[in-house]
Structure formats: structure tokens, C-alpha cells
């Protein structure tokens, strides 16, 4: 069993106005180049999970909820949606439980919608719990194991990891841009 390194994130000012996320951990993605592919994929997933969570650090509730685009996308909504994605791709796909049974909205777009009780702390806590559950659920599985519970049908864990990595990377890019806009607006 491979233990997961603890990840600490620190927001620092880089060149220009864009804050950067520095990963401070025992191992980085560069440290796992010689490890089995599952360890590499899980390390990259964890880095993207941590970066998404960290996009809310140091923000006021209003900033985290601020809409800068016509869609429902906000920083708080992105992390809430990432929590939904964790549960769909790792809980639904493994257990076959329906989204309704899990208390999730039926479609991904609704996972961005915020309610009054959504706060930075509550959304980060739910995200942490979902990520931990995903890690536990996949710990003993091989990449070629087929997950049969997703509504798309049977999917190998390898495909689920790659899909989640692609989705989380895309959302990290969204979060970077939104956070930069919010902080730049505050600096004026």
C-alpha cells in the first residue's frame, strides 16, 4: 500500500498579477517519474485536486461567489462542481448508486449552482471528503479494473483517471483566470 503524501499549498505572487500555487509536499509529480503509472496518475490527480481547493484560500465569501461570466461558474461553484465530479466518477461508477440516492443533482451543470448554505469552509470540507473517499475507493484497484456503475456503462479505472484528470485540469485553468480577475479587481 502506497501512502499519500500530505500536500500543503501556499499562494504566492508571481510575475505580473497572477497568483501562483506552490506545492509544498514530500513528493511532487517530478518525483514519481519512475513509479508505476497508477501512482503517477494519482499524484497528478491529487495536485489538481489541491489546486482547485486552494483557489478559494484567502478569499472573502463574496469573492468566492462572484460571477464574472454569463454561466453559473464561480470559484466556489467550481470547487462544488469538482466535488460532484469526484462523487460521480469514483462513487457512482464504483457502487452503481444513482445520483439521486447520493443526493447529487442529475446533471453536471446543476452542480455549479450555489445555495445560501454553501460557504468556502463547507464546500472545501465536502471536497476534501469526496477526494478522500475517491482515494479509499480506488486504493486496491488496478488500472484495468472495470467500474460498472456509471450510467455510460462499464469503464476501466484508467479511463476514469484520465477523464477526471482532464476535467480537473480544465477547471484549474478556469479557476486561475477567475481568481486573477477577482484579485486584479480588488487591487484597483
Domain ranges of the chain: 7-187
Alpha helices in 98-147 (DSSP H): 120-138
Among candidate residues 110, 109, 92, the one with its CA nearest the CA of residue 101? 92
Q: Looking up cell 464561480, which residue turns up?
A: 74
C-alpha dihedral (174, 176, 41, 46), degrees to nearest 10: -110
146: three-class secondary structure by DSSP: strand
In tens, the pLDDT along 76-106 reads 999 999 999 999 999 999 999 999 999 999 9
In tens, the pLDDT along 147-168 reads 999 989 999 999 999 999 999 9
Predicted model pTM: 0.85
| Per-residue confidence band for 15, with pLDDT thresholds at 50, 70 and 90 | very low
CB neighbours of residue 88 within 10 Å = 21
Phi, then psi, of 109 in degrees rounded to 5: -60, -35
How deeply is 41 buried, as exposed, middle or buried, from its count of CB atoms within 10 A (0-12, 13-18, 19+)?
A: buried
Residue 77 is placed in which grid cell? Answer: 461553484
**Domain range 7-187, its CATH number among 2.30.29.30, 2.170.120.12, 1.20.120.450, 1.10.3720.10:** 1.20.120.450
In tens, the pLDDT along 30-50 reads 989 999 999 999 999 999 999
Residue 167 is placed in which grid cell? Answer: 476535467
Amino acid at each position: 500500500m502506497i501512502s499519500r503524501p500530505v500536500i500543503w499549498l501556499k499562494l504566492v505572487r508571481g510575475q505580473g498579477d497572477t497568483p501562483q500555487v506552490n506545492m509544498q509536499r514530500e513528493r511532487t509529480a517530478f518525483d514519481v517519474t519512475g513509479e508505476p503509472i497508477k501512482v503517477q496518475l494519482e499524484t497528478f490527480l491529487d495536485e489538481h485536486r489541491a489546486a482547485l481547493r486552494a483557489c478559494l484560500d484567502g478569499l472573502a465569501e463574496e469573492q468566492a461567489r462572484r460571477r464574472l461570466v454569463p454561466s453559473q461558474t464561480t470559484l466556489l461553484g467550481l470547487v462544488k462542481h469538482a466535488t460532484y465530479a469526484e462523487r460521480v466518477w469514483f462513487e457512482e461508477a464504483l457502487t452503481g448508486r444513482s445520483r439521486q440516492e447520493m443526493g447529487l443533482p442529475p446533471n453536471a451543470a446543476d452542480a455549479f449552482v450555489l445555495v445560501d448554505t454553501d460557504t468556502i469552509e463547507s464546500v472545501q470540507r465536502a471536497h476534501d471528503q469526496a477526494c478522500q473517499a475517491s482515494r479509499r475507493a480506488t486504493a486496491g484497484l488496478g488500472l484495468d479494473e472495470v467500474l460498472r456503475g456509471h450510467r455510460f456503462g462499464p469503464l476501466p479505472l484508467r479511463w476514469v483517471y484520465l477523464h477526471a484528470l482532464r476535467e480537473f485540469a480544465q477547471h484549474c485553468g478556469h479557476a486561475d483566470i477567475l481568481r486573477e480577475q477577482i484579485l486584479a479587481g480588488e487591487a484597483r
